[in-house]
Amino acid sequence: MNSNRPFCLSIGGFDPTAGAGVMADIKTLEQLGVYGMGILTCNTLQTDDEFFSVQWKDNDLLKVEIETLMAKYNFEAIKIGLIQNFETLSLAINIAREKSPSIKIIWDPILKSSSGFEFHSGSTIELDFLEKNCSLITPNWDEFCQLWGDNPAVLHQRKPRSAILIKGGHRINRTGTDDLFENDKFTEITGESFGGKSKHGTGCVLSAAIAAYLATGNSMLTSCSKAKKHVEKFIMSNESNLGYHTI
């Protein structure tokens, strides 16, 4: 299929407010010149500031959906967001790598909603597999601590093949500053903190924007830097908790 735009696939949850999840990803991808497609891992019941419940999709159906789209479309990048557990996550990654070995895979590790609802309870996450098969992992500080511990220097010992972007929104002492670990070194990406202002779904928008910039040929550092600027505009787009996707 010919297209003037690269294809990106978002695999994640349905948020009825469209502030986060696959709908927010699609809006972000479209805005940044990428044709976005989506596969839902679950239906959620939430508002912009409260999470009530989640209903997960069966893995067999998810597998068929990913294989069907990847059989026809040449995706430059896949962004994976809200997902039930490591089994489902590894299933999606293995299919993507089998169908397209060079595809860029971005995992946004949503372990807890901003309102406190926890996911992956009791699930064991195999970091070695993710560090080997993802192109980028985008934890906030709390998620990084839960997965790797509270000392980022551990990445020098682990030497992951993937890049790791530690987002600064939850770091009290360095709010607004992200750290990209790539090729065994850290690069600081500075930004604005806006006095604590935020939006519902900023993590989803950031990782989707990175996927878009990677899909259009930018380097990892450039993609993360441009995506951060994009999210800053999203945060300041209005005074509510739901941001506007406008250029």
pLDDT, tens digit (0-9, with 9 covering 90-100), for 148-168: 999 999 999 999 999 999 998
DSSP output for 206-225? HHHHHHHHHHTT--HHHHHH
* Banded pLDDT at 180 (limits 50, 70, 90): very high
Task: Please say if the pLDDT value at position 86 is more than 70.
Answer: yes
Q: For the chain, what is the mean pLDDT?
A: 92
Query: By C-alpha distance, which of 142, 136, 89 is closest to 112?
Result: 142
- Residue pair 192/168 in contact by the 8 Å Cβ criterion: no
pLDDT, tens digit (0-9, with 9 covering 90-100), for 123-151: 678 999 999 999 999 999 989 998 999 99
Determine the pLDDT at residue 3: 61
User: Poorest-confidence range of 14-18, 32-36, 112-116, 203-207?
Assistant: 112-116
Q: For 57-209, list the strands marked E by DSSP.
A: 75-80, 104-107, 136-137, 163-166, 178-182, 185-189
Region 4-28: what's the mean pLDDT? 97
What's the rounded Cα separation, in Å, for the pair 112 and 183? 29
Q: Can you give the residue ranges of every domain in the chain?
A: 7-235
* Banded pLDDT at 117 (limits 50, 70, 90): low
pLDDT, tens digit (0-9, with 9 covering 90-100), for 24-75: 999 999 999 999 999 999 999 999 999 999 999 999 999 999 999 999 999 9
* Banded pLDDT at 110 (limits 50, 70, 90): confident
Q: Where are the alpha helices (DSSP H) in 41-107?
A: 59-72, 86-99
- Residue pair 141/175 in contact by the 8 Å Cβ criterion: no
Fold of 7-235: UDP-N-acetylmuramoyl-L-alanine:D-glutamate ligase (3.40.1190)
- pLDDT: which is higher, 173 or 18: 18
Task: Please say if the pLDDT value at position 120 is more than 70.
Answer: no
* Banded pLDDT at 116 (limits 50, 70, 90): low
Strands of 163-166's sheet in order across: 51-56, 35-46, 7-14, 75-80, 104-107, 136-137, 163-166, 178-182, 185-189
- pLDDT: which is higher, 92 or 111: 92
- pLDDT: which is higher, 7 or 195: 7
Task: Please say if the pLDDT value at position 121 is more than 60.
Answer: no
- Residue pair 67/99 in contact by the 8 Å Cβ criterion: yes
pTM: 0.94
Tokens matching residue 110 = 């949503």
Task: Please say if the pLDDT value at position 1 is more than 70.
Answer: no
* Banded pLDDT at 189 (limits 50, 70, 90): very high
Determine the pLDDT at residue 198: 86
Q: What backbone torsions phi and psi does residue 93 show, to the nearest 5 degrees? A: -65, -45
Query: By C-alpha distance, which of 129, 68, 123 is closest to 99?
Result: 68
Q: Is 136 in a helix, a strand, or coil?
A: strand
Determine the pLDDT at residue 247: 65
Determine the pLDDT at residue 115: 52
